[in-house]
Structure 1
């Protein structure tokens, strides 16, 4: 298997099952630290996308600007996958190990809860760091950070839910493809294409929004300005439906679908 240039879908699913077993023995401290790192890594990509898109539409048009934003945002998942971290959205794939009989509901939900809170803490801390850096205190990048946050807070519940489904469908496919890749270049490409696609398309990622919206709130607060759609309540109004949608997209359309196709007959509990 190690001599192959990539794994087949079935082999990648089996590797996902093996990876899922880590929740049985991994310490809480390790899970917390890895989830904090994932929050930081996604925020690195998000802040880079904010910088790149702040004036790109004026020069290349809205569509290409979104393509550029999605392209640089993909660095976040590259860091998660290649350097190693626990990302809530990608951990939807733990459902494969659950269905295969290798982990329990309790262990999976425990991991999801810890990782979600760790991702949130990491995202919030990174948002605070960016504001305290004063790189965006005045000027177009700060304006863009506030615009992004306000636009996300204005999305209706149902639309946010559906955009969350579509987003994590692609994110989990990216993780599965990266698992199949056998070298760093392949893993980077596997992360790039689906993540570029979801960002360019306008889909919603819960962990990214845990950075985008608080950053806009903090920038607006530092400037002493207010936005009608931008508040901490509106932040929760976005993150809740997007998170639910992310779970649905990753669990149903990737984890369950591919487990059924490739592993169902082999599962201990199938």
Structure 2
């Protein structure tokens, strides 16, 4: 069977986190760059579908194609390493340190941002014929998304910041569930099905994903969105990153590790129970 038991895929999660800590800077950056670029293309694809069909569900159903592709090619998103890498530290794998975890997170963040930014520039060019025309309908939509999800939160003050943070938590709860779901199967089809469901859920619900936002907001600024770089950083990216960290690590990594990764002592069977239920010999 292609299904992997929980205690086995949790071991795979810890092994994956350990491998990422010791990965070279070159490989970490390349994999993070490509992950950010592919996810940005998927986001542009989903927004295009939403605009052209008027059906947000259609975009949500098809958006996970980008996530599945980048995962199957072994690329890394910040949301995934938030969940996997700390497990190697918690499990006390030899040589894994807090510094190594933070190094991985920093490199993946930089690589994801670079990849998403490159695609943002490319898509802005395509939406405006090389900045020679006003943005087309899809470009205008991306600009409005940037406004609503920065100054829209700011208009509500502390309540807006709380809402943003919670949406970040919920997002990586689902995204990291998708990362783990891919480890539940040894077949490509099983991995894709496992990843598809939670990724579709997060996108349709409008939760905040730090890497998707690395594409949406820089491209929104280039396409005439009425918000600033500081609006983007303070009223979206930074709280979203923190929410993604809390959501993925708390609701996926630590919960699975606590119940399937650490072997708790088995309670000895009650002698009264065993005597009462012993099958008599024939």
Q: Which TM-score band applies after superposition, normalised by the shorter structure?
A: 0.7 to 0.9
Q: Which has the larger radius of gyration?
A: 2
State the Cα deviation string for residues 87-128 of structure 1 (Å, max 9, x = none): 100112222222111232111111001101111111111100
**Aligned positions of 1:1-270 closer than 5 A:** 4-57=1-54, 65-92=55-82, 93-102=84-93, 103-134=96-127, 137-153=134-150, 154-155=152-153, 156-220=160-224, 227=226, 230-237=227-234, 238-265=236-263
- Taking the aligned partners of 1:251 and 1:24, their CA distance within structure 2 comes to 16
Where 2:208 maps in the other structure, the secondary structure is coil
- Runs (5+) with no aligned partner, structure 1: 58-64, 221-225
TM-score (norm 2): 0.84
Higher RCO, 1 vs 2 (CA within 8 Å, ≥6 residues apart): 1
Indicate conservation of the 8 Å contact 1:66/1:199, yes or no.
no
Q: After TM superposition, give the deviation of residue 18 of structure 1 in Å.
A: 1.4
How far is 1:135 from its partner? 5.9
Question: What is the distance in 1 between the residues matched to 2:17 and 2:172?
Answer: 18
Identify unmatched segments of 5+ residues in structure 2.
154-159, 265-282
Offset, 1:205: 0.2
Contact 2:21 2:85 in 1 (8 A): no
CA RMSD of aligned residues (A): 1.6
Give the CA deviation at 1:149: 1.5
Q: Contact 1:99–1:259 (CA<8 Å) still a contact in 2?
A: no
Mapped to 2, the partners of 1:173 and 1:25 lie a distance apart of 24
**Equivalenced residues, count:** 249
State the distance in 1 between where 2:164 and 2:53 align: 25
Alpha carbons 1:95, 1:256 under 8 Å: kept: no
Q: CA deviation at 1:76?
A: 2.1
1:257 partner SS: helix
